[in-house]
Amino acid sequence: MKLSRLFNSLPKRLAAGALVALAVALPVAASAADMVKIEAQTEVANASVASSNWGSSTTASYNEVVAVQVIYDNDEVAGSGKTANNLRVKINIPNTPGVNQTINTTTASDNSNTVNGSAKVTLNRADAYLQYIPGTATWKHAVSANGPLTTTQKVSDAVVTSANGLVLENENPCQAGSIVVQARVMTPGVKITKQVEKLGESDKWSTNNTANPGDTLKYLLTYTNTGNTTQTHVIIRDVLPAGLTLVPGTTYLYDSSNINGVKVMDTIAQGGVDTGSFTPNAGSEIEFQAKVASADQLACGNNSLTNMAVAQPQGMQQYYNTATTVVSKTCTPNQPTFKCDAFHVTTADNRTVKVDTFKFTASDNSKLDSVVLNWGDNNTVTTNNLVGQQHQYGKDGSYTISLSSFKVGGKTVDVSGNCVQTVNFTTPGTPTPPSTPNQPTQLANTGAGSVFGIFAGATVLAAFAHRLFLSRRLARQ
């Protein structure tokens, strides 16, 4: 009423404009009301000095470890039901050399605001840079609203390596969590590269390629001492993922003393190979082969096989690089077949039906997991034991009883055969016995002749009665 009076009091053009503005604003306000508000904060600490000394900035030197933490929270009121769906965190570790390093983070969900954060790290050398340490991503989170961060677990490196970060959970109202990763301060000293090609190819080395199940791949690991001191006992190893198996006897070391290569022990995928000592700008190469798993050992679709080359001179940290091979496997869905051989119901009093027969045939002797029985009156029942199921209808009528949504061997299948039956119910009415009409009393004929006869008889009777009365009176006198 107040709005109507307000618009009635405005000039017509102004009122029309206000109505348009209100129509536009209302959907926007409704959409904003559906959004979930989240909060996030980014902190850093020098883990080599004091990992608990969190702040918006820190300093670090060669070989020290910097820890990065993102703390997030669903800021909605507990019990509001406003859950942040697929809450994800992305941490960007810069790898460009420089004294001043900025770590940027992004926290968001499918239905919330996006929170961008950052923290500063000051390095002691202009040629130093940060390198993420694989396997250090740790997630702490609460299991209830306003609860402590008591659950701790390792999570995927995708929080750093993936372009979109890592989806952690559906964050409930007033529930919080944090994720911590580590990066090491690097200075020029070690360079390790990793390349791959299929066996039989020539000079097609790359950091990523494609292959088929059962193919054999060749890997080339190249190490270089880019520092200004001699590096000793340089261990080179490779971390093979599931789906790749080292081919025994294919590991060869190439260096200045072995320009044609020398076969070494098959320890490249285990403890690694000690390649010796190298002066500045010197290095080595290791080549080996690995076989891709057969199709029956791979998942349907694209299988991304990423393995990591690791170089570690004595007394120094590990240096990493990777190569990826995508192996595709095409799968034909194994759809079980199902045939409904017999389906029958019997009827009883009070519009009641009962399933008394159900027989089926399934491929591979698959077990019937469940079936939906539709009684034909918008009532259904899901069961794996049809025989004996009963139903009573609320009124007379014709009903088509059918079976649908079969699950056989864990899969939904199409149905053919006689899985339908129709029943009819008509309650006979109770007849009302016809009433016996009352027999009317028959009146004397009152026609003209009859009336005269009656009158004459009455006259004679009256005369007789009068004579009798007079004779008795005279006798008494």
- Domain end point (choices 275, 308, 329): 329
Whether 40 has a pLDDT exceeding 60, the answer reads yes
Are 54 and 177 contained in the same domain? yes
Q: Tell me, yes or no, whether 118 and 242 share the same domain.
A: no
Q: How far apart are CA 284 and CA 222, in angstroms?
A: 6
Contact 341, 359 (CB under 8 A): yes
pTM metric for this prediction = 0.46
The reply to whether 275 and 315 lie within a common domain is: yes
**Which residues on neighbouring strands pair with residue 308, listed in sequence order?**
239, 322
Confidence grade of residue 398 (pLDDT, cut at 50, 70, 90) = very high
Q: What is the pLDDT of residues 129-182, one digit of tens each?
A: 999 999 999 999 988 888 888 889 999 999 999 999 999 999 999 999 999 999
Give 438-449 as a 3 state SS string.
Answer: CCCCCCCCCCHH
What residues contact 187, with CB distance under 8 A and at least 6 apart? 62, 125, 127, 128, 129, 227
For residue 353, pLDDT over 90 is answered with: yes
- Predicted pLDDT of residue 469: 45
> What's the pLDDT at 6?
35
Minimal CA–CA distance to 420: which of 327, 345, 312, 328? Answer: 345
Instruction: Using a pLDDT cut of 70, give the percent of the chain over it.
Output: 80
Residue 144 lies in a domain: yes
pLDDT band at 336 (very low <50, low <70, confident <90, very high): low
- Whether residue 176 sits in one domain with residue 39: yes
Count other C-beta atoms under 10 Å from residue 162's C-beta: 13
Q: Are residues 171 and 222 in the same domain?
A: no
d(CA 84, CA 148): 19
pLDDT(453) > 60: no
Instruction: Provide the token pair at 163.
Output: 């372009």
Last-in-domain residue among 329, 362, 391: 329
Amino acid, single-letter form, for residue 466: H
40 belongs to a structural domain: yes
Question: Do 241 and 321 belong together in one domain?
Answer: yes
Last residue of a domain, one of 186, 220, 240: 186
Q: How far apart are CA 124 and CA 292, in angstroms?
A: 45
Asked if residue 16 is part of any domain, the answer here is no
DSSP assignment, residue 146? T
- CA angle, residues 200, 201, 205, in degrees to nearest 5: 135
H or E segment and range at residue 452: helix 448-476
The C-alpha atoms of residue 388 and residue 385 are separated, in whole angstroms, by 8
Q: Which of 24-33, 36-45, 386-395 shows the highest mean pLDDT?
A: 36-45
Segment 95-135, tens digit of pLDDT: 898 999 999 999 999 999 999 999 999 999 888 899 999 99
- Based on the fold, state whether residues 182 and 57 are members of the same structural domain: yes
Instruction: Check whether residue 178 and residue 278 sit in a common domain.
Output: no
- What's the rounded mean pLDDT across residues 5-16? 42
- Kindly state whether residues 169 and 277 are assigned to the same domain: no
Ranges assigned E (strand) in 47-127: 57-60, 65-74, 84-92, 100-108, 115-123
Question: Is 469 within a domain?
Answer: no
Residue 232 and residue 310 share a domain: yes
* Residue 163 in domain: yes
**Kind plus residue range of the DSSP H or E element containing 12:** helix 12-34
Could you tell me if 58 and 157 lie in one domain? yes
- 429 falls in which pLDDT band (50, 70, 90)? low
- CA dist 33 and 262 (Å) reads 69
Question: Rounded to a whole number, what is the distance in angstroms from the first to the last CA of the chain?
Answer: 114
The dihedral region occupied by 454, where left means phi > 0, alpha psi between -120 and 50, and beta the remainder, is alpha
The reply to whether 432 falls in a domain is: no
- How confident is the model at residue 18, as a pLDDT? 45
Residues 404 and 292 in one domain: no
- Number of domains, the chain: 3
The whole domain housing 44 covers 34-186
Report the share of the chain in percent with pLDDT over 90. Answer: 57
Instruction: Look at residue 460 and give its three-state secondary structure.
Output: helix
The yes-or-no verdict on residue 419 having pLDDT over 80 is yes
User: Which tokens belong to 273?
Assistant: 């190979």
268: domain CATH number is: 2.60.40.10
Q: Is a pLDDT exceeding 90 seen at residue 411?
A: no
Distances (CA, A) of 191 to 19, 234, 238, 290, 438: 67, 12, 15, 23, 123
Instruction: Give the chain's radius of gyration (CA, Å).
Output: 48
Judge whether 343 lies within some domain. Answer: yes
Task: Find the mean pLDDT for residues 294-308.
Answer: 94
**CATH number, domain with residue 136:** 2.70.50
Query: What 3-state class would DSSP assign to 314?
Result: coil
| Tens-digit pLDDT profile for residues 228-273 | 779 999 999 999 999 999 999 999 999 999 999 999 999 999 999 9
- Residue 348 domain-assigned? yes
Cβ 254 vs Cβ 261: under 8 Å: yes
**Strand boundaries in 63-198, DSSP class E:** 65-74, 84-92, 100-108, 115-123, 129-132, 138-141, 151-154, 166-171, 176-186, 190-198
Question: What does the mean pLDDT of the chain come to?
Answer: 84
